[in-house]
Amino acid sequence: MEIYEVFKNLAYNIKMRCGFSKSTVVLTPDKYAVVNQVDTIKVKLPSNSIVDLRSFSMHFKGTCEAAGSSSKVHFPRLSSSLIKTLAVYVNGTLIEPIDNYNTLYNKLYDLDGGGVDQTNR
């Protein structure tokens, strides 16, 4: 059996949720009161579980103020534009560092047309 078939079968089982239980969890980040421009936010995912990061979402409230200016500043069209670096650690080991995540996500979003619902147009 090729390794591709193993991953294909695993992906199918996860998608169909055969033999898996599904539950929603609320994660608490290490910083939640005031987060500044260069701060890092860490979130610990549940252990001994398969996590579907496609359903991972973060909600926030924010204000934009231009330093030393009376003009208004607006948030970008996608909240992913606020994330410069994304790093995934497993048991303290860096698995995947993604620099310039904001640019990568926006390029893929533009190429994809914004999602599956846009492919029929």
φ, ψ dihedrals at 114, nearest 5°: 90, 5
Prediction pTM value: 0.59
Q: In this predicted structure, what is the pLDDT of residue 99?
A: 92
φ, ψ dihedrals at 96, nearest 5°: -145, 110
Which pLDDT tens digit goes with each residue over 8-42?
676 776 666 656 677 778 887 888 778 877 888 88
In a 10 Å sphere around its CB, with 0-12 CB exposed, 13-18 middle and 19+ buried, how is residue 101 labelled? middle
φ, ψ dihedrals at 75, nearest 5°: -70, 155
Of residues 35 and 119, the one with the higher pLDDT is: 35
Q: What is the greatest pairwise CA distance in the chain?
A: 64
> In the chain, where are the structural domains located?
26-113
Of residues 15 and 79, the one with the higher pLDDT is: 79
Instruction: Return the closest-CA partner of residue 49 out of 21, 91, 12.
Output: 21
